[in-house]
Chains A and B, each alone.
Chain A
Amino acid sequence: MIAVRGVSLCAGDHRVLEEVSLSVETGTVLAVVGPNGVGKTTLLRAVAGLHSLESGSIAIDGVDVASLPPRARARRIAFLGADDTPVESLSVRDVVGTARYTHHRWWEWRETSADASAIATALAEVGIGTLAQREFSTLSSGERRNAWIAFALAQETPALLLDEPTTHLDLHVAQRMLALLRALARAGRTVVCALHDLNEAAAYADTVALFGSGRLRSFGPPDVVLSSPIVDEVYECPVERVRLRDGSLRVYPSGERTALER
């Protein structure tokens, strides 16, 4: 379980988030949503122990993240940013294998059978097992995104924090990726994703945290959060909700829905 208590965050001199408190139960998916620049990435980085807190505390399974040394922290939390870092002269397997750093002490230089198994499983789970020996820089942006997600999975941590995991992925792969993340959660991991698409959040998350104006504006099940008029206010546009036959909710900017109906 991840517990965020009264956390305030700054980016440089700018206060990004104020007094955020929320918790993510083990075995669930939390979608962090909100307009651009609201602090979703900063929050994820803070939960991963990669961004210092102005105030408050963040704990994973009762252990304060800030108190953990980098390797111990990385054995509990995998964080994947949205940036596509250029990587030269390495195979996809080399890149994914780097995630195993945290499972080795500094004098353990050789790949173990546990490493090989974790890398193979991660590559297979995201469906790029056949690309293992390809040079990373020759992949398409979508394939690279898949490989980075495999990288996060190969870390084999109880918590997965992913910033915009579906960026660059085509419709089918994006759906498959979110289904995989939900399956991982059901298998006992805690998954937190920053998402831009509210419908992805509605379809795959157990809980949604909606941020706006530097604060947590709404937190709860997707149906409750996305039905609230706070969504219209936070995104500064009128939003229409559509209830599908299976009971799930879809959210559209009102103009977009009108266009769809035509």
Chain B
Amino acid sequence: MMLRLVSLAIVAIAAMFGALLVGGTPISAHAIASALLHPRESSDIAIIVWQLRLPRVCDVAFVGAVLAVSGALLQGLLRNPLVDPYLTGVSAGAAAAIAIALLCGVAAVATPAIGFGAGLATAVLVAALARRGGGLDPQRLILAGVSLSAFFSAIVALAIVSAQSSNYASAIIAWLAGSPAGRTWHDVALCVPYAVLAAALVVPAVPALNALRIGEAQARSVGVNVERVQWLVLASAALFAACSVELAGMIGFVGLIVPHAGRRIVGSDTRLLLPASALIGITLCVIADAVCRTVAAPAEIPLGILLAFIGVPVFLWLFLRGRYAR
């Protein structure tokens, strides 16, 4: 299994390097490699690589990794293969807040931070509604996540209808389509502490997530503090999802599909599944983003839309084959 993990890492690195080759200015692989090895150079190529392409590729890789890990965590916790990171309400809450902010004339540059904050606030609300005793009720969590998402989607639709006569409607729709365009090193750096915090929260819960594979009752009997694991995993998954919202808006399906692919490659052992999901998420998003930037160049297809086009058929294929693992 370790060999498979190493192979996934090599593929992810190769995908990231390949994505650096894609852009308006043709640059050879040798020149890209040279620019990567000499970051202090001030040549045009070094500037293109370090200021334009690498931040974009790292941003997308980051989004792919956190969404995939978030999905794997929630699917493992709830033992439900149809759960995705947006069940936490993060994206719907963020979308509603950003739609309202844009309507109120808030500068577009402030929207990622607004989305991050509102997304996390919605996750807290979903968790509060799903609370039972000292822990979370999985069924209530799903119902609260779906209900609140529907509620916030209605707010977004209302905002779009209200903003039809202005430029704001297109800004809201662009955000909903999901795109990492325009993000810089600064945006990535802003999210790193939150992702590190999310990882730190979930690492102690990894053995417990493995124990939960045999069911909550059995996990309790071997000493798993299920309530604590639920809170740790939900907090971690919400933070990861909020990071992705901050960096690329609404990107669907990665968190749903990638953990399935991860389980097929390395099995359901959480110790392997989380890094495998992260690596597959990186590969998928980086390749998809490169396609988005090239197929209609100089225009760009939103990443969220392309991933949905890939994601839906893949998901249906997985679903219809009926062999997906929990």
Q: Per a CB cutoff under 8 Å, which of B204, B219, B223 touches A75?
A: B223
The distance from the CB of B180 to the nearest CB of chain A, in whole angstroms, is: 34
Q: Are A109 and B207 in contact (CB under 8 A)?
A: yes
Q: Are A155 and B222 in contact (CB under 8 A)?
A: yes
Q: List 12 A-B contacts (CB under 8 A).
A: A69-B225, A70-B220, A70-B223, A70-B224, A70-B225, A72-B223, A74-B222, A81-B217, A89-B267, A90-B214, A90-B268, A106-B204
> Cβ of B221 < 8 Å from any Cβ of A?
yes
Contacts of B208 in A (CB 8 A): 101, 106
> Cβ of A20 < 8 Å from any Cβ of B?
no
> Cβ of B123 < 8 Å from any Cβ of A?
no
The distance from the CB of B128 to the nearest CB of chain A, in whole angstroms, is: 23
The distance from the CB of B221 to the nearest CB of chain A, in whole angstroms, is: 5
**Cross-chain pair count, CB within 8 angstroms:** 75
Please judge, given known A-B contacts A70-B225, A102-B223, whether A89 and B325 are in contact too, CB under 8 Å: yes
Q: Are B213 and A90 in contact (CB under 8 A)?
A: yes
CB nearest neighbor in B for A90: B213
Contacts of A75 in B (CB 8 A): 223
Contacts of B325 in A (CB 8 A): 88-89
Q: Bound state CA distance, A74 and B210, in angstroms? A: 16
CB nearest neighbor in A for B271: A109
A70, A74, A151, A155: most-surrounded residue (chain B CB, <10 A): A70
> Cβ of B251 < 8 Å from any Cβ of A?
no
Q: Bound state CA distance, A155 and B109, in angstroms? A: 55
> Cβ of B193 < 8 Å from any Cβ of A?
no
The distance from the CB of B275 to the nearest CB of chain A, in whole angstroms, is: 13
The distance from the CB of A79 to the nearest CB of chain B, in whole angstroms, is: 5
Q: Bound state CA distance, A73 and B220, in angstroms? A: 10
Q: Are B224 and A101 in contact (CB under 8 A)?
A: yes
CB nearest neighbor in A for B81: A88
Q: Bound state CA distance, A57 and B37, in angstroms? A: 68
Q: Bound state CA distance, A151 and B205, in angstroms? A: 21
> Cβ of B215 < 8 Å from any Cβ of A?
yes
Contacts of B204 in A (CB 8 A): 106-107
Contacts of A89 in B (CB 8 A): 263, 267-268, 325-326
Q: Are A50 and B271 in contact (CB under 8 A)?
A: no
Please judge, given known A-B contacts A98-B218, A101-B207, A109-B206, whether A87 and B223 are in contact too, CB under 8 Å: no
Q: Per a CB cutoff under 8 Å, which of B207, B211, B221 touches A48?
A: B221
Q: Bound state CA distance, A102 and B221, in angstroms? A: 9
Q: Bound state CA distance, A73 and B223, in angstroms? A: 7
Contacts of B326 in A (CB 8 A): 88-89
